[in-house]
């Protein structure tokens, strides 16, 4: 007993030191550049991240194609039985990562006892991260931030000189081929009030879309898993995931809006599966139309995941409801897309998708698959996707998922859709697929699966704080580096 106590104390002390170091590093980034005395802590965190980043390509590939191993391992043919025998030692160790939903009894993870507070912290954090690049001391000239930001200005500016009907027609048919009219129209309405300029409205988008993403993911996870504790950590993780950092860095505003609507769509789909009502079905259809009008590519991914999810639900007694919902949703969206093309002259979604894919799709991209993966992780977006921590937690989540569970089957279908498409894409198209993966949810599942099955000598609250602070440092450093060079 004394030996166990000493060992637990030693681990606790080590974790406490690491948590304090990460907290001081986070303070450095939060108040950058005014706490230069804390530079060694921020530099140490950065050095560890850089040392682990070479693992990112392997982690990403294992995550993307984990579903193949899961399907083969679960089958009952001769090959699968041999596969299970061969990989039994590895699988036995992985079994300890099996995800178990948090329960109210015997749970030492006290930090998860207030999930709504965690989600609120996520909302405030997403808001704070969006403000950092526009701090007057870091960006005194107020230079707009976001690679794609200028496109939104160029698309919306002509709309301001038109009547509401003319602006609607322009957004639906001309701007970006009519592929993302919803956000353009919302910004147009905001600017038309005269309270903000066009530049101010576009610059404010991350401050709105980031918190909206946190809220939508919190609601989705709460509905799908039926547990607010998982939802709380997923909401908190959203603020410190690729959705926020890459979204701000690249200016993926329509993409961020569509992700929020996509999670609303999936929430309503799962709710309809459980409690089919007419109102629920109507809201489901409306959310899918909103998703279509928000961002074409995100709509394709979410609908493809929903259709594959329905196809994989062969033994689900409520499969008919899911198939019906997915089929009617797809039919309605195709109809809306046809009417939009007919009325406003926009190309059909299939035409627009083909035109945008063609330059970065083909046999040459398959031959360059590995170089494309490396370029996407280490060159695109300043290397923000090469986060070994995020990818490791997501891989743990994928390994802990079970295909016989409804929600986890949906997540595996989502990963499978992306892994199949990514093979023949250029590195920039690959990064768009990677960005769309449900990383906040995977982070939450992977983190909780690890914490609830770890060595009893480790304090789960300290380990939780350590991992979250590492994610906080990643996100703070990412958005600060857009407008400043820290080291």
pLDDT tens for each residue of 18-28? 999 999 999 99
Q: How far apart are the first and last CA of the chain?
A: 47
pTM score above 0.75: yes
**Phi, psi values for residue 99, rounded to 5°:** -70, 130
Least confident residue range of 148-162, 310-324, 337-351 = 310-324
Place of tokens 């995550």: 63
The more confident residue out of 364 and 380 is 380
pLDDT over threshold 60, residue 89: no
What is the band of 85 on the pLDDT scale with cuts at 50, 70, 90? low
Q: Which residues contact 178 (CB under 8 A, 6 or more apart)?
A: 171, 172, 340, 341, 344, 346, 347, 352
Q: Which residues contact 25 (CB under 8 A, 6 or more apart)?
A: 38, 41, 42, 44, 45, 469, 473
Taken in order 218, 394, 149, 184, the sign of the CA dihedral is negative
Share of the chain above pLDDT 90, in %: 68
pLDDT over threshold 70, residue 208: yes
pLDDT over threshold 90, residue 362: no
pLDDT over threshold 90, residue 110: no
Q: Which residues contact 258 (CB under 8 A, 6 or more apart)?
A: 180, 291, 294, 295, 297, 298, 299
The more confident residue out of 406 and 237 is 237
**Phi, psi values for residue 425, rounded to 5°:** -105, 155
What is the band of 75 on the pLDDT scale with cuts at 50, 70, 90? low
- Give me the half-sphere count of Cα atoms (radius 13 Å) on the Cβ side of residue 476: 23
pLDDT over threshold 90, residue 322: no
- The pLDDT of residue 454: 66
pLDDT over threshold 60, residue 82: no
What are residue 361's DSSP bridge partners?
425
- The pLDDT of residue 244: 97
**Six-digit token pair at 161?**
């000189």
Q: Which residues contact 200 (CB under 8 A, 6 or more apart)?
A: none
CB 452 within 8 A of CB 96: no
Least confident residue range of 135-149, 304-318, 470-484 = 304-318
Domain segments of the chain as ranges: 35-64+98-143+204-480
Place of tokens 């959203």: 238
The pLDDT tens digits for 229-280 are 999 999 999 999 999 999 999 999 999 999 999 999 999 999 999 899 999 9
pLDDT over threshold 90, residue 97: no
The more confident residue out of 308 and 440 is 440
Mean pLDDT of 168-186: 94
Mean pLDDT of 182-196: 96
pLDDT over threshold 70, residue 337: yes
CB 145 within 8 A of CB 482: yes
Determine whether 278 is exposed, middle or buried from the number of CB atoms within 10 Å of its CB (0-12, 13-18, 19+): exposed
Tell me what the pLDDT averaged over the chain comes to.
88
What is the band of 6 on the pLDDT scale with cuts at 50, 70, 90? low
What is the band of 106 on the pLDDT scale with cuts at 50, 70, 90? very low
Whole-angstrom distance, CA of residue 247 vs CA of residue 252: 5
- The pLDDT of residue 481: 95
pLDDT over threshold 80, residue 76: no
The more confident residue out of 386 and 314 is 386
């Amino acid at each position: 007993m004394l030996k166990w106590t000493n060992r637990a104390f030693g681990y606790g002390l080590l974790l406490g030191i690491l948590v304090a170091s990460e907290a001081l590093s986070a303070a450095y980034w939060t108040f950058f550049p005014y706490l230069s005395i804390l530079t060694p802590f921020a530099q140490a965190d950065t050095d560890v991240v850089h040392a682990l980043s070479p693992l990112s390509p392997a982690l990403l590939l294992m995550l993307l194609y984990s579903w193949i191993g899961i399907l083969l391992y679960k089958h009952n043919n001769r090959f699968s039985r041999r596969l299970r025998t061969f990989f039994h030692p590895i699988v036995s160790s992985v079994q300890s990562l099996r995800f178990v939903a948090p329960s109210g009894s015997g749970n030492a993870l006290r930090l998860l006892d207030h999930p709504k507070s965690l989600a609120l912290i996520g909302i405030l954090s997403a808001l704070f991260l969006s403000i950092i690049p526009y701090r007057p001391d870091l960006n005194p000239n107020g230079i707009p931030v976001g690679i794609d930001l200028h496109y939104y200005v160029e698309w919306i500016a002509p709309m301001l000189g038109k009547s509401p009907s003319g602006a609607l027609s322009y957004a639906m048919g001309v701007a970006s081929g009519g592929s993302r009219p919803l956000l353009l129209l919302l910004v147009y309405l905001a600017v038309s009030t005269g309270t903000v300029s066009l530049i101010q409205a576009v610059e404010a988008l991350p401050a709105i879309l980031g918190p909206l993403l946190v809220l939508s993911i919190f609601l989705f996870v709460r509905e799908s898993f039926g547990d607010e504790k998982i939802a709380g950590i997923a909401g908190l993780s959203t603020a410190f995931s690729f959705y926020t950092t890459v979204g701000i860095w690249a200016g993926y505003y329509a993409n961020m809006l569509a992700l929020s609507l996509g999670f609303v769509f999936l929430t309503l789909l799962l709710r309809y599966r459980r409690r089919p009502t007419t109102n629920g079905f109507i809201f489901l259809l409306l959310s899918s139309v909103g998703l279509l009008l928000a961002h074409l590519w995100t709509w394709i991914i979410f609908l493809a995941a929903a259709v594959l999810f329905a196809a994989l639900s062969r033994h689900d007694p409520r499969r008919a409801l899911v198939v019906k919902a997915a089929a009617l949703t797809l039919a309605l969206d195709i109809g809306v897309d046809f009417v939009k093309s007919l009325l406003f002259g926009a190309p059909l979604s299939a035409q627009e998708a083909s035109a945008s894919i063609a330059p970065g799709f083909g046999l040459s991209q398959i031959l360059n698959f590995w170089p494309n993966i490396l370029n996407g992780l280490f060159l695109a977006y300043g290397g923000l996707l090469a986060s070994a921590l995020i990818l490791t937690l997501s891989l743990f989540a994928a390994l802990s998922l079970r295909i016989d569970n409804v929600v986890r089957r949906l997540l595996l279908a989502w990963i499978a859709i992306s892994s199949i498409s990514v093979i023949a894409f250029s590195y920039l198209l690959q990064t768009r697929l990677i960005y769309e993966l449900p990383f906040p949810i995977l982070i939450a599942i992977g983190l909780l699966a690890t914490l609830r099955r770890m060595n009893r000598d480790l304090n789960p609250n300290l380990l939780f704080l350590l991992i979250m602070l590492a994610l906080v440092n990643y996100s703070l450093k990412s958005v600060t580096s857009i407008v400043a060079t820290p080291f």
